[in-house]
Amino acid sequence: MPSALPLADSAPADGLLPATVTDAASARNLGIYVHVPFCRVRCGYCDFNTYTAEELRGAKRSDYAGQAIEEVALASHVLEASGLPEREVSTVFFGGGTPTMLPVTDLAAMLAAIVVAWGLAPGAEVTTEANPDSVDRDYLFALKNAGFTRVSFGMQSAVPHVLATLERTHDPARIPLVVRWARDAGLQVSLDLIYGTPGETLDDWNASLDAALAQDPDHLSAYALIVEDGTKLARQIRRGEVAMPSDDLQADMYEVLDAKLAAAGFSWYEVSNWARDTDHESRHNLAYWQGHDWWGIGPGAHSHVGGVRWWNVKHPAAYADRILAGVSPAAGRETLDAETRRVERVLLLTRIRSGLSIRELEPGGRVAVAGLIADELVNAAAALRGSIELTLRGRLLADAVVRRLLAE
């Protein structure tokens, strides 16, 4: 969740949504995202809406669960009052920040409030992110007992000098411990990696991949490091203290990543995500890419319901003030027009393997498919079946593929 919020229309104090959100609502799943904006330290590459203890300025971490529960109640009222049908929640995702900086009782209380408000659909996926040094065995067992089904550990790298550049604080030797504890608790395990860190070599990346695969995770996410303006890392690069990550090296790292995961029995289902099978894909993230509905709880959290998108005020103190006043914490919102929704649908569905039907493209986009096949960017067999599936080269050049598919 980037720290900068977009400019758009003001959001109503009562949070009510326009009547258009009810169109085809019964065909869309409902997910809940809970943003926990607290971190022990701020990593130099991070542009997310997070706060250390020194940055809270009047907000209290101990008050946060109660405030989030109040927003859950608001969300339940708004969805009902806006005419949306009753839907059980299909997925819940606690992200951050570091959700597991809160006591496990707080996470359990927030999840319980969600269950009371909407109920959980059969087989619902309930995930929390966690830093390896923020949980122990008892914490993970308590998560399982509270109803969580999945934990996503921020491993990032297994190489100490890479972790140091990223300013990650955990000991890589702790990864096997937390994975074993999570498995003992009965939780599915995902590992998150970052590649292309300044100073990281291909050998370093191979070592991280081997260490991650040795844990036999159910799911793995791997993201190329993006240097965001305004971060400490961006300032270090500007001053020449560290080198800008190489695009060519990142591409080589992605190819190594995909080959190793395929050999280990993983399949890619989104450009940056792999799973052992479809049962272990992140259904919450798939809901974003497929255009379902989700309500984002917490400071800076984004929501989307039926083509209406909004985002909450950023700072925890401002968020607390809105919640205590009994008004929506939304800072702004926008109603997406038909063209914006079309462009976003092509952009998002192209990224997933099960992806985009060729029939949804404009005539110019359908004509472009043949050239994309010839350029080995789109899978020919999948195109004959009527869908866009990126090749390995296409995944590396996904933005260029989307531009050609959007031709009219």
Enclosing H/E stretch for 68: helix 64-81
**Coil, helix or strand at residue 352:** strand
The matching CATH number, chosen from 1.10.10.10, 3.80.30.20, 1.20.910.10, 3.90.1660.10, for 19-290 is: 3.80.30.20
Work out the average pLDDT over 250-258. 98
- Mean pLDDT value across the chain: 95
Place of tokens 């409030």: 113
Please give the Cα distance from 330 to 305 (Å, whole number). Answer: 14
| The pLDDT of residue 219 | 98
- Between 11 and 5, whose confidence is greater? 11
Structure tokens at 329: 């914490």
Query: Are residues 168 and 43 in contact, defined by beta-carbon separation less than 8 angstroms?
Result: yes
Q: Which residues pair with 146 in a beta bridge?
A: none
Lowest mean pLDDT among 90-104, 140-154, 240-254, 358-372: 240-254
Please give the Cα distance from 379 to 372 (Å, whole number). Answer: 9
Work out the average pLDDT over 58-70. 96
| The pLDDT of residue 240 | 87
Structure tokens at 205: 């990346």
| The pLDDT of residue 8 | 67
Is pLDDT of 2 > 50?
Answer: no
**Coil, helix or strand at residue 40:** coil
Lowest mean pLDDT among 46-50, 269-273, 338-342, 345-349: 46-50
Structure tokens at 395: 């995944």
- Percentage of the chain modeled with pLDDT above 70: 98
Is pLDDT of 42 > 80?
Answer: no
Which positions ≥6 away from 308 have C-beta within 8 Å? 17, 18, 20, 21, 333, 334, 335, 336
Give the pLDDT band (50/70/90) at residue 408: confident
Give the pLDDT band (50/70/90) at residue 7: low
Structure tokens at 351: 């990224």
Nearest to 254 by CA among 205, 204, 212, 216: 205
- Between 3 and 316, whose confidence is greater? 316
Work out the average pLDDT over 5-30. 89
| The pLDDT of residue 4 | 54
Nearest to 360 by CA among 373, 372, 377, 343: 343
Is pLDDT of 331 > 60?
Answer: yes
Work out the average pLDDT over 53-82. 95
What pTM value is reported for the model?
Answer: 0.95
Give the pLDDT band (50/70/90) at residue 355: confident
Parallel, antiparallel, or unpaired for β 89-96 and 30-36?
A: parallel
Is pLDDT of 165 > 80?
Answer: yes
Which positions ≥6 away from 228 have C-beta within 8 Å? 2, 45, 47, 234
- Residue 175 burial (CB count, 10 A): 20
- Residue 362 burial (CB count, 10 A): 14
Structure tokens at 229: 């303006």
Which positions ≥6 away from 119 have C-beta within 8 Å? 88, 89
The structural domains of the chain, with segments of one domain joined by +, span 19-290, 337-408
